[in-house]
């Protein structure tokens, strides 16, 4: 792997590459809001900085890349089937409901929809399944499945192009070929799935509504999707916070959702996945209003629930996948990528984790980076939960800790590059659209590669832990 030991590259060469990367990023919109500048998260064009990136692509074995890509349509189908099994969702999350207020709020909306017998005939999923390559077993293991607000389709597309440009321009000096960087078409595929959903809804006057946070430094990733919808598909999209939906939204007698008289065909959630997005009752009212409407939700409340950690852990139990899938080969492929997952009511595993906390990760029912518990904190948290004897342990799951290969990388943040030893996480996007019995789209749709310093436990780019990267297939 000396080919990829980027630390051996000459300082002057790295300096030149970094300069080229910064120019390219600025010209092509590979940018985020700069949090040291006020209003950078609310006013476009104010306080821009290049997205945190790896300067050069990370090597990844072609076989495992293919394996991850082939899993996407199977996971898409699984999400859809699990979403239709209301009793499985409610039952699997019943203990979590007692312990976790946020999951409880989501389950209440789900129950509400069951009561009024609300059917989602057109179902749209923009998912992302995240994996790490475990070095010990040389196997690809799933970290989590995201069914809501799967971000970075826009920027990850650009990082791939940036790396192709850098390697095309400088690669001869260190023996790399730009054609070996895996192609990435995530943002076009996401826009295409949204556009197809819009046309299935069949109301040419209606628009696509993107649900966003009031402060969003990652807005340009979202604006890429809007720009493609407008330029390629001639579809208008509007951006609204949950609070604005509560203020301006109403449902017409025929079920159509309207905001200030503007009809909505598709609701694309880029917010609403974390408790912080629901600071008051108003946001919950908005979520319920949208769910009751005839608009296509990406995701619907049931798709959202399928992405919770407890459901992931439930699906990993023996015999559970068979409840939802018939194809034995597909089931075997999914099982092969499942890491060890346990609930905290399995006392033997809890004891094991207290004895060897470094072999486990504790995960709460939360999306977005910065929430997991590692190392000695695992032991402390488990012991605290045992003492309190409360239901609070239901808000967590235990997961096998994965130890990926460490590579020599060069990371760029705020215009400065630095050499680090790093590990990477691969996210595969999947798009899924069905109308009643007809599956219109079910495919793998590009990827997100995130790389972080090997000593860092957390992995979110937006949360400030990781950088965007691309794959060099080996």
Per-residue pLDDT tens for 344-393? 877 888 888 888 888 888 887 666 556 788 888 888 888 888 787 766 77
- What was the pLDDT predicted at 329? 97
Token reading at 436: 């009643």
Same domain, 411 and 381: no
- What was the pLDDT predicted at 39? 94
Q: Is 109 annotated as a binding residue?
A: no
Q: Is 247 annotated as a binding residue?
A: no
Same domain, 264 and 353: no
Catalytic residue status for 146: yes
Q: Is 217 annotated as a binding residue?
A: yes
Coil, strand or helix at 90: helix
Inter-residue contact 411 to 454 (CB < 8 Å): no
Q: CA quadruple 9, 11, 14, 20: dihedral positive or negative?
A: negative
Closest CA to 161 of 314, 28, 65, 50: 28
Same domain, 430 and 443: yes
Same domain, 245 and 328: yes
Rounded distance between C-alpha atoms, residue 313 and residue 330, angstroms: 18
- What was the pLDDT predicted at 2? 66
Same domain, 123 and 263: yes
Rounded distance between C-alpha atoms, residue 427 and residue 459, angstroms: 12
- What was the pLDDT predicted at 455? 77
Full domain range(s) for residue 352: 340-401
Q: Which of 401, 425, 449 is the last residue of a domain?
A: 401
Rounded distance between C-alpha atoms, residue 284 and residue 303, angstroms: 17
Total domain count, the chain = 2
Same domain, 391 and 348: yes
Q: Residue 47 region, left (φ>0) first, then alpha (ψ -120 to 50), else beta?
A: left
Task: Determine which one of 192, 450, 459, 470 is catalytic.
Answer: 450
Q: Is 186 annotated as a binding residue?
A: no
Same domain, 299 and 347: no
Closest CA to 334 of 74, 61, 147, 125: 74
- What was the pLDDT predicted at 282? 98
Task: Determine which one of 120, 144, 192, 444 is catalytic.
Answer: 144
- What was the pLDDT predicted at 464? 62
Task: Determine which one of 95, 287, 297, 309 is catalytic.
Answer: 309
Q: What angle do CA 462, 402, 454 make, to 5 degrees?
A: 55
Same domain, 358 and 397: yes
Rounded distance between C-alpha atoms, residue 239 and residue 224, angstroms: 13
Catalytic residue status for 309: yes
- Which regions in the chain score pLDDT beneath 50? 1
Closest CA to 288 of 102, 87, 113, 100: 113
Domain holding 390: CATH number?
Answer: 3.30.1490.50
Same domain, 234 and 137: yes
- What was the pLDDT predicted at 458? 59
Same domain, 145 and 250: yes
Rounded distance between C-alpha atoms, residue 226 and residue 231, angstroms: 9
Same domain, 217 and 293: yes
Q: Which of 401, 417, 434 is the last residue of a domain?
A: 401
Catalytic residue status for 128: yes
Task: Determine which one of 29, 105, 368, 460 is catalytic.
Answer: 368
- What was the pLDDT predicted at 460? 63
Q: Which of 358, 373, 401 is the last residue of a domain?
A: 401
Catalytic residue status for 139: no
Token reading at 455: 């000593």
Task: Determine which one of 40, 69, 76, 151 is catalytic.
Answer: 151
Rounded distance between C-alpha atoms, residue 389 and residue 91, angstroms: 22
Same domain, 276 and 367: no
- What was the pLDDT predicted at 91? 95
Catalytic residue status for 450: yes
pLDDT tens for residues 263-298? 999 999 999 999 999 999 999 999 999 999 999 999
- What was the pLDDT predicted at 172? 85
Inter-residue contact 126 to 149 (CB < 8 Å): no
Q: Residue 29 region, left (φ>0) first, then alpha (ψ -120 to 50), else beta?
A: left
Rounded distance between C-alpha atoms, residue 197 and residue 195, angstroms: 5
- What was the pLDDT predicted at 462? 63
**Other Cβ atoms closer than 10 A to 19:** 12
Q: Is 150 annotated as a binding residue?
A: yes
């Amino acid at each position: 792997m000396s080919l990829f030991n980027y630390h051996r590259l000459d300082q002057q060469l790295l300096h030149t590459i970094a300069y080229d990367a910064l120019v390219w990023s600025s010209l092509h919109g590979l940018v985020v809001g700069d949090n040291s500048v006020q209003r950078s998260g609310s006013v476009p064009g104010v306080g821009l900085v290049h997205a945190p990136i790896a300067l050069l692509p990370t090597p990844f074995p072609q076989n495992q890349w293919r394996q991850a890509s082939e899993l996407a349509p199977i996971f898409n189908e699984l999400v859809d089937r699990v979403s239709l099994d209301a009793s499985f969702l409610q039952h699997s999350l019943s203990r979590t409901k007692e312990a976790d207020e946020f999951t409880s709020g989501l389950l209440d909306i789900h129950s509400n929809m069951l009561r009024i017998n609300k059917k989602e005939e057109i179902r749209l999923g923009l998912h992302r399944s995240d994996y790490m390559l475990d070095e010990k077993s040389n196997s690809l293991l799933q970290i989590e499945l995201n069914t809501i607000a799967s971000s970075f389709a826009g920027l990850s597309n650009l990082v791939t192009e940036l790396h192709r440009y850098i390697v095309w321009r400088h690669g001869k000096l260190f023996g790399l070929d730009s054609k070996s960087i895996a192609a990435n078409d995530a943002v076009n595929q996401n826009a295409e799935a949204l556009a197809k959903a819009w046309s299935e809804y069949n109301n040419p006057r209606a628009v696509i509504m993107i649900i966003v946070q009031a402060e969003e430094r990652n807005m340009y990733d979202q604006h890429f999707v809007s720009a493609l919808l407008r330029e390629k598909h001639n579809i208008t999209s509007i951006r609204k916070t949950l609070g604005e939906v509560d203020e301006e939204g109403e449902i017409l007698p025929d079920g159509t959702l309207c905001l200030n008289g503007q009809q909505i065909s598709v609701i694309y959630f880029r917010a609403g996945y974390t408790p912080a997005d629901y600071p008051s009752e108003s946001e919950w009212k908005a979520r319920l209003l949208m769910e009751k409407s005839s608009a296509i939700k990406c995701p619907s409340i049931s798709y959202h629930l399928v992405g919770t950690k407890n459901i992931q852990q439930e699906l990993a139990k023996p015999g559970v996948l068979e409840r939802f899938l018939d194809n034995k080969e597909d089931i075997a492929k999914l099982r092969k990528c499942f890491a060890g997952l346990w609930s905290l009511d399995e006392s033997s595993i809890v004891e094991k984790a207290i004895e060897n906390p470094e072999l486990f990760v504790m995960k709460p029912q939360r999306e977005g980076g910065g929430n997991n518990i590692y190392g000695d904190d695992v032991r402390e948290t488990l012991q605290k939960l045992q003492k309190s004897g409360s239901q609070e342990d239901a808000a967590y799951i235990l997961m096998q800790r994965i130890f990926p290969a460490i590579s020599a990388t060069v990371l760029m943040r705020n215009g400065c590059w630095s050499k680090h030893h790093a590990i990477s996480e691969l996210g595969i996007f999947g798009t899924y659209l069905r109308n009643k019995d007809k599956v219109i789209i079910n495919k793998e749709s590009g990827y997100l590669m995130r790389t972080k310093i090997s000593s860092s436990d957390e992995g979110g780019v937006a949360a400030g832990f990781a950088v965007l990267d691309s794959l060099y297939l080996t």
